[in-house]
């Protein structure tokens, strides 16, 4: 008789508790548990446009852009530093942001509209902000604030820079 893996039911559904093809470097249950545990923290750490701008001007604050290098170089929030989400590792993060207590402001494509190339919308269920927030916490960064609203690139008070930034 074949035994089936146990199910672990979380607020947003059930996941396998035992992976049928184990890999000690992949922990889906741990990820979903972390995501569920961070849900309220993330919600209280989403900030308005004005709050994002205010916090970005405070000393020691880092604006992190986790989009691709090409999109970052073309257009990003003024003063942001770049580390592509695909390059998140503990050494890479510690090199860029050595102190895990640093306030980190994050944003993604889904925070901006009317810029279909450099801020192309992603599926809302997997917006980069969600993954970035969870991953930063997993690496020990607990002071992460996320730009909350959807803003028009042409009307926002947030300043941009990069090759495709409007010339003033």
- Among 20-29, 66-75, 90-99, 153-162, which is the least confidently predicted range? 20-29
**CA-CA-CA-CA dihedral for 72, 69, 96, 145, to nearest 10:** 40
Tell me how far apart the alpha carbons of residues 33 and 14 are, in angstroms, rounded to a whole number: 11
122-133 pLDDT, tens digit per residue, is 998 889 999 999
pTM over 0.75: yes
- Residue written as tokens 């599926």? 123
59-90 pLDDT, tens digit per residue, is 999 999 999 999 999 999 999 999 999 999 99
pLDDT at 11 over 50: no
Domain spans in the chain, listed from the N-terminal domain onward:
58-152
- Return the DSSP state at 127: -
Tell me how far apart the alpha carbons of residues 92 and 67 are, in angstroms, rounded to a whole number: 15
Tell me how far apart the alpha carbons of residues 71 and 74 are, in angstroms, rounded to a whole number: 5
Q: Band of the pLDDT at 18, cuts 50, 70, 90? A: low
Q: Please, what CATH class does the domain formed by 58-152 belong to?
A: alpha beta
């Amino acid at each position: 008789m074949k035994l089936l893996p146990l199910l672990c039911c979380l607020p947003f559904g059930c996941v396998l508790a035992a992976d049928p093809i184990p890999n000690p470097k992949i922990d889906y249950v741990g990820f979903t548990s972390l995501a569920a545990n961070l849900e309220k923290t993330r919600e209280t750490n989403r900030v308005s446009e004005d709050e994002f701008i205010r916090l970005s001007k405070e000393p020691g604050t880092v604006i992190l852009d986790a989009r691709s290098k090409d999109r970052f170089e073309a257009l990003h929030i003024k003063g942001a530093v770049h580390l592509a989400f695909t390059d998140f590792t503990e050494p890479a993060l510690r090199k860029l942001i050595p102190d895990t207590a640093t306030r980190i402001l994050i944003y993604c494509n889904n925070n901006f509209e009317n810029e279909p190339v450099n801020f192309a919308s992603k599926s809302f269920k997997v917006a980069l902000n969600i993954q970035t927030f969870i991953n930063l916490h997993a690496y020990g960064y607990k002071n992460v604030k996320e730009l909350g609203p959807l803003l028009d690139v042409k009307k926002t008070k947030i300043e941009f820079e990069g090759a495709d930034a409007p010339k003033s």
